[in-house]
Amino acid sequence: MKKRFISIMITAVFIMTAVFTGTAYADVTPAPQTAAQCAVLIDANTGEVLMDKDMNMTEFPASTTKMMTALLAIEHLDLDQVVTVGEDVVNIDGSGLDIKPGEQFTVEQLLYGMMLKSANDMAVVLADAVSGNSANFAILMNQKAARIGCTGTNFVTPNGLPDDQHVSTPHDLALIAAEGMKNPTFAKIVKTKHYTIPATNMSPERKVTNSNQLLTNKKTLMVDGVERPYHYDGIKGVKTGFTNAAQACLAADAERNGLDLISVTMHDSREEQYPDAIKILDWGFANYKALTVINKNKVLAEADVENGASKTVNLVPEKDIKMAAEKNVTSRKDLSYKTKAKPLTAPVKKGTEAGTITIYKDGSKLVSYKLVTQKDVDGSFSYKVSKFFKDLFN
């Protein structure tokens, strides 16, 4: 029994390290000049930084704050849950939907109002629904921010209205945007152009349009002297923000040919926020591509199977693992990985989660993905006999 326990524990912490050999990174074109005081571009799938303009500079995030509010509300509340507006929505500054104490909305309606119209009052209602009040909700916001790797963020309000202690950075907001976009509900909301909030117990229906003009504006603008459409090819979201203190902030996510990029600009002018985002994303797509670094069929580890017809099962990635790479690069030699498997008990279905692969860049952790079983594993003959008699007498 002792030997068997030790064997299981070894399987549970089994680690394998390998290097992705191949061509080294080559030079890319110089990053674009922006009016934004600070900015960043990351690979949305891995968080790898591709462009950095003072990405850790602390600034007021304005309504980009609502990305975190939306993510927490989605994680803690049911979309069809009915919420009654409290008294604390009275006289909230900035953009809103003139909601009233006693008015009732579903969580889903509040999310659309907050993320499309950027309704400050609806952000407060969602914070109240999750935590009872905005102060308690801010604790959750900061805990979540720390878990996803934010280092320069301190949230005080759910909506981003000015507060000297309410700050973030381009890099942190990019991480928050990437975390949000992993959630299908979040991703669906921020990509929605128009939404109608049905009539409530106190007001007629409200029609809202997404404030992100990369999604909705049919006109053109000038980008480095060239007339371009506002609508950006491949745009997926995410969130705008503006206060006099913060100036213009914008988190934008776009995907082309499997390459998913998130740009964030902070303390920008209203005139330049969209040209800046377009220039940054253009630069990313011009210099990088999506490179499959590990195929989903590649066996990376094996897990012990208790009571199985076979004693082990191979583990493979849940999906192809893709990362940003420069256009002329065929593989990445700056990466290594470690895998961790856990023991299973038969019967086991193909695709069962049974471990992780963690990818490192130059020795620093970059991203983790699930490992799953490559095939079914039936129970052993003795297990089947035991189960037959157990079922027979139960």
8 A C-beta contact, residue 157 and residue 94: no
| First-residue to last-residue Cα distance in the chain | 28
Rounded CA gap, 41 and 30, in Å? 13
Closest CA to 108 of 144, 134, 136, 70: 70
Rounded CA gap, 146 and 263, in Å? 20
**40 — phi, psi (to 5°)?**
-155, 155
Rounded CA gap, 60 and 247, in Å? 8
Rounded CA gap, 30 and 66, in Å? 32
> If you count them, how many residues does the chain have?
394
Active site residues: 63, 66, 118
Rg (CA), the chain: 24
Q: Could you tell me the two tokens for 63?
A: 């309504």
Residue 116 CA, distance from chain mean position = 18
Closest CA to 376 of 350, 352, 358: 350
Residue 207 DSSP label = E
Rounded CA gap, 390 and 383, in Å? 10
Paired with 360 in beta bridges are: 336, 365
Closest CA to 247 of 32, 52, 65, 36: 36
8 A C-beta contact, residue 355 and residue 341: yes
Question: Residue type at 388?
Answer: F
